[in-house]
Amino acid sequence: MDVWGKIRHFSILSESEFAPFSKLFRTHRYYTTQASQTEREREKYHQMRTTYKNVPLVAKFRLLRASTAYRGGGLGFENARPKPGRTVSTPKTAIECKKKSGFASEILNKTREKVQNTVNGREENGFQNRKALKPGTVTKMRKVYEDTLKPHYAETGVLPPYNDAKYQFARTPDEIEGMRKAGLLAAEVLDYAESLCKPGVTTEEIDEKVHLMIIDAGAYPSPLNYGEFPKSVCTSLNECICHGIPTPDETLLDGDIINVDVTVYLNGYHGDTSRTIRVGKVSEQVETLCRVTEDALEAAIKIVKPGVPLRRIGATIHEIADKHKFGVVDKFVGHGVGKEFHSGPTIRHHRNNDPGTIEAGMTFTIEPMLTIGGTRDIMWKDGWTSVTADGKWTAQCEHTLLVTDTGCEIMTLSPAKKALGDHLIRGAR
């Protein structure tokens, strides 16, 4: 865990770790005091007052030498004295800080960003000589036709509860046909989105054109207002793991990769699919990442059949990633899909010991996310966008599956790639 992570999670923080951050504060004071063994057992944390914007007003810290420090008053820590009756024992050390304010606020923000990038191992021109992604301006939600059949969250934006115990099935001819039609439309929309991913195009433009194609087909773009997600498609560029929000400020460059995640709601069924698209000519390392991610999805799909433990999906993907020394993101998972956007079973893409077996008629997604570097993520303040903490790039691909008696049917196969003779799972090679 990096230092900022320690601060946010109230973990142990040494003076040496704190030292690079002292420039962000006007004052920082050290003091020592005495505490008894009884007090050490009773006081697990030390209070630290600060108005620094990324830390709560009163945060509890465990410093390497201050987990049981005496709580002094105000700023007079150096004058603090043990209360009467307290047994003198081991000296402890603590820190109190005060945020810079007024004229120095702009310098503070720049310094904080520079220090944070240094801690996370990210330079201004980072991996593949690209600057780190930053939040852009999010435009208003797009409209849909009044007579479009909408999911229950479309008007309220309320995120439905996720029920891991609730599996979705398509067993009747009508249910199977409904899933096929939704999956086919999602695949066609994704093919169209891939044709848009050229250097100079913004993710906002991709969202606009994808939105129009979906609503003109009589469907609803499933991400729109799902938990107040503001756009109709997810566009995850380079180090963005998933759930990237399209903006007019995000322009594709030659050598980028972008995952476009399309889900449509057609006649009461969701079809969910994504792939990582190469923009122009990508580096050999990035191409390998994309190919291995596609190979991992293909291998996982091949083992899907009734009676197979769900955990074998993650084991299969992880084994392939390990061979190529790529990381497997464990924070985001595949899921049941059908009449509901998300439900059980939870499909983990890493090694796990989850219970449960695959059953005939199940409908769910497999959507592995592999990384060149570490798998730890940073979640942006929008509550959706997840990027790799080290700035290394990541790839993802996804299909919706229907489990048959002998294997599975891929509901979101690409008709365009099939016509061109390309591989049905992988992107263009």
- Per residue in 236-267, pLDDT tens? 999 999 999 999 999 999 999 999 999 999 99
Which tops the pLDDT comparison, 24 or 178? Answer: 178
Which residues lie closer than 8 Å to 347 by C-beta, 6 or more apart? Answer: 310, 313, 314, 333, 334, 335, 364, 365, 366, 367
Name the helix (H) or strand (E) containing 282: none
Distance CA 256, CA 201 (A): 12
Per-residue confidence (pLDDT) for residue 215, from 0 to 100: 98
Lowest mean pLDDT among 110-124, 258-272, 316-330: 110-124
pLDDT-derived band at 420, boundaries 50, 70, 90? low
- DSSP per-residue letters across 362-400: BEEEE--EEESS---EEE-TTSS-EEETT---EEE-BEE
CA atoms within 13 A on the CB side of 386: 17
Total-model pTM: 0.73
Mean pLDDT, the chain, as a whole number?
Answer: 80
Which residues lie closer than 8 Å to 61 by C-beta, 6 or more apart? Answer: 10, 13, 45, 46, 48, 94
> What is the tens place of the pLDDT at every residue in 56-76?
333 333 333 333 333 333 333
In the chain, what are the domains? 3-119 (no CATH), 127-420 (3.90.230.10)
Res. 157: pLDDT tops 90: yes
Question: Cβ(293)–Cβ(429) under 8 Å?
Answer: no
Give the pLDDT mean for 198-209. Answer: 97
Q: Which residues pair with 93 in a beta bridge?
A: 32
Alpha carbon distances (Å) from 213 to 44, 181, 190: 57, 15, 10
Closest residue by Cα to residue 271 from 261, 256, 279: 261
CB atoms near residue 254 (< 10 Å): 12
